[in-house]
Structure 1
Amino acid sequence: MASARVQALLASMTVEEKLAQLVGFWVDQGDELVAPMAGEMATSTRYEEASAHGLGHLTRVYGTRPVEPIARAEWLWAEQRRLQTETRLGIPAIVHEECLTGLAAWQAATFPTPLAWGAAFDPELVAEMGRLIGGSMRELGIHQGLAPVLDVIRDPRWGRVDECIAEDPYVVGTIGTAYVQGLQESGIHATLKHFVGYSASQAGRNHAPVHAGAREIADVLLPPFEMAVRDGGARSVMNSYAEIDGMPVGATPAYLTDTLRDDWGFDGVVVSDYFSVAFLHTMHAVAVDRKAAAELALGAGIDVELPGGDAFPLLAAGLRDGSVDDDLVDRAVLRVLTQKEQLGLLDADFSTPPRAVDLDSPAHRRVAGSLAAESVVLLTNDGTLPLASAHTAATIAIIGPNADSAHALMGCYSFANHVLALHPGVPLGFEIPSLTDAIRAELPSARVLTALGCEVEGDDRSGIADAVAAARQADVAILAVGDRAGLFGRGTVGEGNDVESLELPGVQRELIEAVVATGTPVVLVALSGRPYAIGWALDGDGAVAAALQSFFPGEEGGSALAGIISGRLSPSGHLPVSLPRSAGAQPFSYLHPLLGGPTEITSADSTPVRPFGHGLTYTSFVHSDLRTDAASPAGSTVSVSVQVRNAGERAGVDLVQLYAHDVFASVTRPVAQLLAYQRVSLEPGESATVHFDVPTARLAFTGVDGVRIVEPGTVDLWVGSSCADRETEATVEITGPAHAVTAADARVCGVRVARGVAV
């Protein structure tokens, strides 16, 4: 319910003042391609005209071009003062920025990409990162962050996979909610995106139609958003560009109003993805013009048009003559004014801009380093890693297009790859040692040989001979391959960079095969924004000695990888997405029913090369004695415990993964479903008992009548090193009548770790 102050403001507003609160303005927008079709959709309205009656949002003040933060803050404080003193109502604007891998601004820290968050399986660390990012934003007068992305990965061919957290909705929900909580604890409103269905696009193509059924939407795609709204208290949501079964989300009240507000109780603000209101006319063709698009969007539940006013201002004449429902406009204005009141904007003092900020402090770098290290996944290892002490003074060949590239450590929505790529010659503004730099620092006694081998893209093979020569002279070769993140064709992964093949780009496979053929042990490092079909490099003849998967690990990623290679750090990351067999096996999810996996009635095999949850360490962990309640009523909580022991000779971190399979149900169920997870650090010989309190709602699904229920029946439980490993098993019987899930049902498992005595 809006406050009396907000209601009084609304009552005093003219039509122009109302509509001004429902749009943003992109002051710095030019020819740079940092948003889809930005050049075609740019409004021609001058800023002075657009802000004459106030303004809802200022779009990407820091994040469009490389601007010096303090100088830009001075401009921003002055502009907010102008809105306070030179518009009739004196209402400042909300400032929003991208913050997916840190604040997307020049000189700000760049953290690992969200797919690395998923690989770390560490919500607490992600929350700490969110607090640091939020603190930087608040210092600079920013109020709203366009993150996190809660799209569940359905097809790795989609270019925006590096923005996503995992292919499991519970992992996406718990980690995404942690980021929301961290950001909002610092006073920044998080924006959940892209609500909903965006990642399930046809053939992994950006903006392509979505053919997901109602059950997939309800059971896989919606739960992370529900968790972030109900448990995280997210204050903003951004609509998806997608059309689902012919219905664009931006024009569909069933998602933006019925589910989001009526079912979940969301009372924040819905902002449009950039240009998506106008897209209802230009791309979806469900509106005859932009005015009609504005009416559809408002009716569906979109409150604010971003990045600028391409459609909403066209409603003015209709509001005056009564042809446009003014209740829809008033509803949106109340929400925006309430948000500004909550942010303190209605009473803000903009007299003193910041004089100094540290956007890449030691605290930023500490968390960036910890998250990078925790996210590295050891895919295979014949004992070459960690490098033995003999290698610390050995000859090491560092090869590959991503070995000496700082840009290869950063995701699509990093400021460096998103914006600075359009400003050659401008320095990054922060330290980010490449993998080569980091290994030289990590192993100062080693003799290091370097060779490019090939570029990330293209068919130039002329450098492969030099790479082979370097490998032949070395005791071990470190070969860094993978992606270069960018937008809309400016790279191999990122927004608009969708692919038909999951082979490594360019001639990188030929480079790997040539270096492996030298006989020198090869440590493969995949620095990428998506998982690639690299089974040929991991298994069988021609396999590498060891392989590390690192999903764009950020500014401290090179150092984290070097530490793992040397043995100073131990790998503890696990795959948040299946390592694919081929592009032809897509879309694939480990959450598939029986007929979604290999069967005797098809010659095609979709089994991934490495399963969801896979991740090796430098020690070995044994899981045993899985115990659970014999029976538990639907709607209650199941108590589960398991013992884990470090059976190796090194300290390490295990990811305890609890999986379930509903043996028989009224609709088909996944062969494996992650119920709960917990990182546990153990010394050699140390053991611990991990207790999970699992709400039976974790087993809920949409029943035959369209209602989400927990059904009675037998459920298999297991713990292992991945979804495919049943190391210790148990069974629980869910009893009683079917339970219809409500808001009162817990969505998150409780976890307790009791450490045992070293054995």
Structure 2
Amino acid sequence: MKTAEQTWHDASLPTDQRVAALLAQMTLEEKAGQLGSYWIRPEEEQQDGESNVAPMADTFGGGPSFETAIANGLGHITRAFGTVPLDPAEGRTKLAELQEQVMAANRFGIPAIAHEECLTGFTALGATCYPASIAWGASFNPELVQSMAARIGADMKKLGVHQGLSPVLDVVRDYRWGRVEETIGEDPHLVGELAVAYVKGLQGSGVSATLKHFAGYAASQAGRNHAPVSIGQRALEDTVFPPFERAVREAKVQSVMNSYADIDGEAPAASRRLLTEVLRERWGFTGTVVADYWAVSFLHSMHEIADSEDSAGLLALNAGMDVELPETIAYARLAEAVRAGRLDESVLDTAVSRVLTQKIEAGLLDPDYSPEQAWQGDDVELDSAQNREHARTMAEESIILLRNEQILPLKNPARLAVIGPSATQPRTHLGCYSFTNHVYSRFAEQEDYGVQMTSILEALREAPALAGSQIEYARGVDFTDLDEAGIEQAVEAARNAEVAVVTVGDLAGLFGRGTSGEGCDVVDLKLPGRQAELVEAVLETGTPTVLVLVTGRPYSLGQFADRAAGIVQCFMPGVEGGPALAAVLTGQVNPSGKLPVQIPDHIGGQPGTYLAPKLGWHSDGVSNLDPRPLYPFGYGLSYTSFEISGIELSAQEISTEGILEVSATVTNTGQIPGAQAVQLYLADEISQVVRPRRWLAGFAKVKLAAGESKRVSFSVHADRTSFTGLAGRRIVEPGKFTLFIGSDSEDLDQQAGFNIVGEIREIGEGRVMDTPVVIS
């Protein structure tokens, strides 16, 4: 018979058997140690709020010393790479040394899970930074996202990182929210499709993905970070939950992180309803729930539903929170709580079992494990040519052409004026969770980005199509500085040019250190600083102007649109953003991006997304405010033209459990190759609750040669019409529905009606949430 140690070390045995054998040998302190974490933070960060890379980091003095934290074992090592600039080889060695200390300090030799941010790439010095999540949404291309995530995971794994704190699955509700750039868009189906792709890619490389922020974070009042959320159960079930549910059920995600913002007074970090009943009992999640940084402590200090840190820890653990991040504070005395009768040991055991399961599945408890053995070779290159090529493709496919009055692509004008702050600042291409903006900008010289990047201006000067052009640059204004002195020079440059390209937008940062990003919320949707005044001044010259927006959120363009000759929207396109944008502007690349969020007409009138009921849309006599966007969800032009025709349904009616096949032909009617994102929308004509005018039910990005046609066929299950009914249960309701196929949420010429017949069907757990598509 095997000893207990032989059992939990035996990689051939079932995981649950190994976990049980190890758990049976552990003391209360050793169990509790597996639920804690440690973060080696710079001293200045613990005292200076200007240096925070997590909310209110300076207000927490930190947990116990490293030696104390690891004395009985450790659950997680927090951000060994993404806290200060470290050469990758140096960082890998440092992490391995930390792991050796963790293993030596506990009698079982159990290492910690090393986690890191990875939303737009591995958050480490010198790693490829891919486009921001909002740009993934603009690509409408799940395959690209999955391949990107696989590359990110491979780079993390070879340096010893086990878990990535991505992706963000919050569905955009208010464009003023600073973290819009971190989201995939405002539609739950689009978010869900790309979420499943990302999770499969990252976990396919051997790194656990972490869904965040569960749940409701993006619906905060007035778009303010961490603000309370006032949202009904129907909106949670039908809009907020679906991407999380799909990533759990379809992609088998291995970790979930809570939301900071309370929902109708209920703090997610202490919500048994969310963390246990919904996540585990309804959806079947079996992985670990990890706390957003200091979220457990916030139950005491911010939400004020616990009278102490210790009480906060007990609330969270009983709710279903497994691991406290980024440091062990509220979980520091769990063993004492068990002995005092304040915590049932079975609750502790359940959480520890989940953490040990994750470690076993990652190979950390195999008898031959060592941190160095997990390196998988000597390669520490994080910005390979292959990564760059993929980043370039993603950037190109995410760029959206909004307006083109026969000015694009640029035809080698003799005199070209390039104007605006983002033309020479490559940091504007990167999101707030890129290493450059998140960490490196606080340590490095202004022109040092930690990774090679080409500015928009440089890329235009290098573009073959502009080889004969004289290019003059004028900055005009900064991103936030209110000094307008440079506008005069910009106006002069525009007057002297045949064409002006004006580049404006965001510079991402954290907690007010940028115009977009975590804690960088805005009161309205006017361009930051004096950039609107710059655009206005250039347009007044009468020189044909191409407006280029490099942003993390949509801004109001109504005052400019009808006077601009061209408008290009670029959502934080990553390290290859400059060359990708130049390629689109000069016609080397035909744009194919689509809006994952709407572009507002005026600076107010928010919040509001395309998922609006009839009364949330424009209606004469209801309000003097017109909430309709300037450019709708899913919108995007091309240098070629497309036609969608010939919609056909496989039947005129289906049962409440039936499947309907719907197809249409998409044709490239222009002269050059291109790609069109064909979009399928559903509308419920009459229902027992108020529903959106229409919602995205499926999409497919179709590449076509000039003159080529392809047939796109969607399989629509009756479950795709389901909603949360008046009784609070999900139902498929018989009635009349309309299917639309088109190029955006408003351009939907191809439509056909069908009926669902039979009795109302109440749907149990595990409904059909995807819409398979075949292109032929």
- TM-score bracket, normalised by the shorter chain, equals over 0.9
Partner Cα separation in structure 2 for residue 656 and residue 111 of structure 1: 25
Which residue of the partner structure matches residue 588 of structure 1? 608
2:711 partner SS = strand
Give the Å deviation of 1:366: 1.1
Q: Output one character per residue of 1:399-438: Cα deviation in whole Å (capped at 9) or x when no partner.
A: 1010111101001100000101211328333211011111
**Does residue 30 of structure 2 align to residue 17 of structure 1?**
yes
Residue 504 of structure 1 pairs with residue 527 of structure 2: yes
- The answer on whether the counterparts of 1:157 and 1:583 sit within 8 Å (CA) in structure 2 is no
Q: What is the TM-score of this pair, normalised by structure 1?
A: 0.97
- 1:32-87 alpha-carbon deviations (Å, 9 max, x no partner): 30000011124241111111111100000001010111012112223223333342
Structure 1: gaps (5+ residues): 755-759
User: Helix, strand or coil for the counterpart of 2:421?
Assistant: coil
What is the one-letter code of the residue matched to 1:92?
A: P
Match in the other structure for 1:521: 544
| Aligned: 1:470 with 2:483 | no
2:558 matched to 1:544? Answer: no
Q: Name the residue aligned to 2:422.
A: 402
Shift of 1:351: 4.1
2:261 aligned with 1:242? yes
Give the secondary structure class of the aligned counterpart of 1:657.
Answer: strand
Alignment-mate amino acid for residue 565 of structure 2:
A
TM-score of the superposition, structure 2-length normalised?
Answer: 0.95
Q: Which residue of 2 aligns with 1:757?
A: none
Q: Within 5 Å, give how 1:312-711 maps onto structure 2.
A: 312-347=331-366, 348-352=369-373, 355-388=378-411, 390-391=412-413, 394-425=414-445, 427-442=448-463, 443-539=466-562, 543-600=563-620, 601-628=622-649, 629-711=651-733
Deviations 1:628-678 (A, max 9, x none): 121111122110001111111121111101111100011111101111100
SS of the aligned residue for 2:82 comes to coil
TM-superposition CA deviations, 1:274-316 (whole Å, max 9, x none)? 0000000000000001111001101111000000111001323
In structure 1, the partner of 2:147 is 128
Displacement of 1:471 after TM fit?
Answer: 1.1
Moved more, 78-87 or 157-166: 78-87
Residue deviations 1:532-574, cap 9 Å, x none? 01111112xxx11101001100001111110000000011001
CA distance in 2, matches of 1:42, 1:693: 55
Structure 1 residue identity aligned to 2:631: R
Whether contact under 8 Å (2:436, 2:450) holds in the other structure is no
| Paired residue type of 2:732 | V
Alpha-carbon distance in 2 for matches of 1:549, 1:229: 32
Which residue of 1 is the match for residue 10 of structure 2? none
State whether residues 135 and 184 of structure 2, in contact with CA within 8 Å, keep that contact through their aligned partners in structure 1.
yes
| Distance in 2 between residues matched to 1:639 and 1:110, nearest whole Å | 40
Indicate the SS of the match to 1:131: helix
Q: 308, 313, 338: which one pairs with 2:327?
A: 308
CA distance in structure 2 between the aligned counterparts of 1:422 and 1:496, rounded to whole angstroms: 17
Structure 1 stretch 681-690 or stretch 93-102: which is displaced more? 681-690
- Contact conserved, 2:72 with 2:105, CA < 8 A, in 1? no
Aligned-pair Cα RMSD in Å: 1.3
For residue 68 of structure 2, what is the amino acid of its counterpart? Answer: E
Q: Is the CA contact (8 Å cut-off) linking 1:570 and 1:617 kept in structure 2?
A: yes
Offset, 1:584:
2.9
1:202 maps to 2:215 = no
Indicate conservation of the 8 Å contact 2:595/2:634, yes or no.
yes
Q: CA deviation at 1:476?
A: 1.0
Residue pair 1:41, 1:310 contacting (<8 A) in 2 also: no
1-structure distance, mates of 2:763, 2:502: 50
Q: Which AA in structure 1 matches 2:610?
A: Y
Q: Which amino acid aligns with 2:38?
A: F
Shift of residue 327, structure 1, vs aligned partner: 1.6
The aligned residue for residue 725 of structure 1 is: 747
- 1:188 matches 2:207: yes
SS at match of 1:216: helix
CA distance in 2, matches of 1:350, 1:495: 33
8 Å contact kept, 1:196–1:221: yes
Q: For residue 346 of structure 1, give the secondary structure of its aligned residue in structure 2.
A: coil
Tell me the distance in 1 between the aligned counterparts of 2:559 and 2:39: 47
Q: Is the 8 A contact 1:290 1:314 kept in 2?
A: no
Separation in 2, partners of 1:136, 1:38: 28
How far apart, CA to CA, are the structure 2 residues paired with 1:631 and 1:565?
47
SS at match of 1:576: coil
Report the residue type matching 2:251 in the other structure.
G
Task: Tell me the CA shift for residue 746 of structure 1.
Answer: 2.3
Instruction: Indicate if the aligned counterparts of 1:500 and 1:583 stay in contact, CA closer than 8 A.
Output: no
Separation in structure 1 between the aligned mates of residue 561 and residue 720 of structure 2, nearest angstrom? 34
CA apart distance, 1:522: 0.8
Task: Answer yes or no: is the 8 Å Cα contact 1:619–1:650 preserved in 2.
Answer: yes
SS of corresponding position for 1:449: strand
**2:604, 2:546 → 1: CA distance?**
27
Q: How many residues align?
A: 748
Note the C-alpha offset of 1:29.
Answer: 4.5
Indicate conservation of the 8 Å contact 1:193/1:238, yes or no.
Answer: yes
Moved more, 189-198 or 78-87: 78-87
Shift of 1:726: 2.2
**2:285 alignment counterpart:** 266
- State which drifts further: 269-278 or 35-44: 35-44
Q: Deviations over 1:424-457 (max 9, x none)?
A: 3283332110111111111333211001000011
Query: Alpha carbons of 1:563 and 1:358: their partners in 2 closer, same or farther (altered >3 Å)?
Result: same
Are 1:168 and 2:187 counterparts? yes
Do the aligned residues in 2 keep the contact of 1:2 with 1:338 (CA within 8 Å)? yes
Q: CA deviation at 1:341?
A: 0.3
- Partner in structure 1 of residue 3 of structure 2: none
Instruction: Select which of 13, 21, 39 maps to 1:26.
Output: 39
- Structure 1 residue identity aligned to 2:255: S
For the pair 1:40 / 2:62, whether they are aligned, the reply is no
Alpha-carbon distance between aligned partners in 1 of 2:328 and 2:101, rounded to the nearest angstrom: 20
Given that residues 62 and 97 in structure 1 are in contact (C-alpha distance below 8 angstroms), is that contact kept between their aligned partners in structure 2?
yes
Aligned counterpart, 2:294? 275
Contact 2:441 2:449 in 1 (8 A): no
Structure 1 Cα separation of the partners of residues 508 and 97 of structure 2: 35
Secondary structure of 2:681's counterpart equals: strand
Distance 2:469 2:769 in 1: 51
SS at 1:717 equivalent: strand
- Evaluate the alpha carbon distance shift between residue 294 and residue 660 of structure 1 in structure 2; reply closer, same or farther with a 3 A threshold: same
User: 1:123-161, CA deviations, whole angstroms, 9 ceiling, x for partnerless residues?
Assistant: 000000000000000000000000000000000000000
Bigger Cα displacement from structure 2, 90-99 vs 3-12:
3-12
How far did residue 2 of structure 1 move? 5.6
Unaligned runs of 5+ residues in structure 2 are 1-13, 46-50
CA distance in 1, matches of 2:305, 2:607: 28
Partner-residue secondary structure (3-state), 2:559: helix
State whether residues 693 and 751 of structure 1, in contact with CA within 8 Å, keep that contact through their aligned partners in structure 2: yes
